[in-house]
Structure 1
């Protein structure tokens, strides 16, 4: 079984959002095939597709982290230090995965503590 590797520097090779080719009609066959695989494994309601891109470079100890304020209905994605999260007893549940020739890796996660999803910006 493959494992998710956490290697932020490989994400620095992504194209800037202004340079990446947008998702369009030419992607229909690929997306339909992905949908078929997800359906085959019972994961249509679990996984989707993200347009991988960057806005800035990540440091060696950084990852992108999703945080949410449910009451204000706001959701952010920002770079954080992985060692800082670990030091505070927090972890990131993988939410975005990148595939490459060696497998897949985590790019973005959702903030969690020992009780699960924090539901707010911490």
Structure 2
């Protein structure tokens, strides 16, 4: 440390100022404090700029995710509408099947299983 004080005293002497060892030490310590403060401010500024950049990236990602969420919600509404439409059609088809089965069950048994000549002619005439 004494060599540092000697350097500070020599530089001050070149400038025409005479310093005591105490004042030279105080100037050196003050210079170190100023350098440490400047380094701290530089790091704080760098961290602040980095945080702002990261916040902008997060905001952009959030906007993209919000847009994707809206699209997925729209697709879900559409899929639910299709499912409800298909369920309604299936219920209507089931009701029609029950109605058809009721008509089949209500048809009396045919004792005459063969066509008569008149029936055969009508079937041949269908084209």
Question: After TM superposition, is the score higher than 0.5?
Answer: no
Structure with greater contact order relative to length (CA < 8 Å, sep ≥ 6)? 1
- Structure 1 or 2, whichever has the larger Rg, is 2
Task: Identify, as 1 or 2, the structure richer in helix.
Answer: 2
TM range (shorter): under 0.3
Task: Identify, as 1 or 2, the structure richer in strand.
Answer: 1
**TM-score for both structures, normalised by structure 2:** 0.15
